[in-house]
């Protein structure tokens, strides 16, 4: 079985996947950023459950139910706070992705969506973090090809989407930039129309702006 990777723009709380990943803190407390959005959308029961699961050291993960979210599980993954990059932040971020994948695999989640862990409030440079995210997931699915059917990287900011796309290409990962809203076909980087900021669907030929794709 082949695992399909997707890089999408949007809000992870709306993702209809088995597991969404929360960029959590060690206390497993509702914070800002994607964490705040997840707690708000899931409702109070998520807060009560995670009170019983913490603390969670950096690099480790905890699994909870997803309550009002469309997902089945939330995997709370604590990424490193980036200082100067000399305190093993890279190894901790690798651990964070790897432990998330192991926990999702163990919970039999077949589809999973990641935010760009640590790249907001925790200040990890987006390019380095993206390389770790994509490479760690790609390595995992090579090792366990039957673990996941779909892995999504959800970019909240359009500029992050461009970085994910560039790094995916530099790693030779052929990831679609989105899905056509008209016919649900995968749209890829090579479908970009020459000299235009539009992508032409390879199936129905509908032109889309990047932010119009699913």
Candidates 9, 64, 111, 119; binder of ligand AR6 (CB under 6 A) is 119
Please give the C-alpha separations between residue 81 and each of 39, 68, 74, 89, 136, in angstroms, as whole numbers: 21, 29, 21, 7, 19
Q: Are 61 and 77 in contact (CB under 8 A)?
A: yes
Q: Kindly indicate which of the ranges 7-15, 62-70, 97-105, 200-208 contains the residues binding ligand AR6, using the contact rule CB under 6 A.
A: 7-15
Least Å distance between CB 11 and ligand AR6?
Answer: 4
Cα gap 212→27, rounded to integer Å? 37
Q: Are 74 and 20 in contact (CB under 8 A)?
A: yes
Ramachandran category for residue 101: left, alpha or beta (phi over 0 → left; psi -120 to 50 → alpha): alpha
Q: What is the contact mask toward ligand AR6 in residues 60 to 99, using x (rule: CB under 6 A)?
A: -------------------x--------------------
Radius of gyration, alpha carbons of the chain = 17
Q: How many residues bind ligand AR6 (CB under 6 A)?
A: 25
142: buried, middle or exposed (CB in 10 Å: 19+, 13-18, 0-12)? exposed
Candidates 21, 46, 116, 163; binder of ligand AR6 (CB under 6 A) is 116
Least Å distance between CB 132 and ligand AR6?
Answer: 13
Site residues (CB under 6 A) for ligand AR6, limited to 136-165: 154, 156-157, 160
Q: Kindly indicate which of the ranges 28-36, 89-97, 177-185, 189-197 contains the residues binding ligand AR6, using the contact rule CB under 6 A.
A: 28-36
The reply to whether 118 sits near ligand AR6 by the rule CB under 6 A is yes
The reply to whether 33 sits near ligand AR6 by the rule CB under 6 A is yes
Least Å distance between CB 110 and ligand AR6?
Answer: 20
Candidates 35, 61, 71, 104; binder of ligand AR6 (CB under 6 A) is 35
Q: Are 6 and 114 in contact (CB under 8 A)?
A: no
The reply to whether 23 sits near ligand AR6 by the rule CB under 6 A is yes
Cα gap 6→10, rounded to integer Å? 12
Q: Which sign does the torsion angle of CA 52, 57, 63, 67 carry? A: positive
* Positions that interact with ligand AR6 (CB under 6 A): 11-13, 23-25, 31-35, 37, 79, 115-122, 154, 156-157, 160
């Amino acid at each position: 079985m082949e695992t399909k990777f997707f890089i999408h723009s949007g809000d992870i709380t709306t993702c209809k996947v088995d597991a969404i990943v929360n960029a959590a803190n060690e206390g497993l407390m509702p914070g800002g950023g994607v964490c705040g959005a997840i707690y708000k959308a899931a409702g109070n029961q998520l807060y009560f459950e995670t009170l019983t699961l913490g603390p969670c050291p950096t690099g480790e993960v905890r699994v909870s139910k997803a309550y009002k979210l469309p997902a089945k599980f939330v995997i709370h993954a604590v990424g490193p706070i980036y200082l100067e990059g000399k305190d093993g932040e890279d190894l901790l971020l690798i651990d964070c992705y790897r432990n998330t994948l192991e926990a999702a695999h163990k919970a039999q989640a077949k589809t999973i969506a990641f935010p760009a862990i640590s790249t907001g409030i925790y200040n990890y440079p987006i390019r380095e973090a993206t390389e770790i995210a994509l490479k760690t997931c790609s390595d995992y699915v090579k090792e366990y090809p039957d673990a996941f059917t779909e892995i999504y990287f959800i970019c909240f900011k359009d500029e992050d989407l461009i970085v994910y796309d560039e790094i995916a290409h530099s790693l030779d990962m052929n990831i679609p930039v989105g899905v056509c809203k008209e016919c649900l076909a995968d749209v890829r980087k090579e479908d970009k129309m020459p000299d235009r900021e539009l992508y032409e669907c390879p199936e129905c030929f509908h032109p889309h702006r990047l932010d119009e794709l699913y």
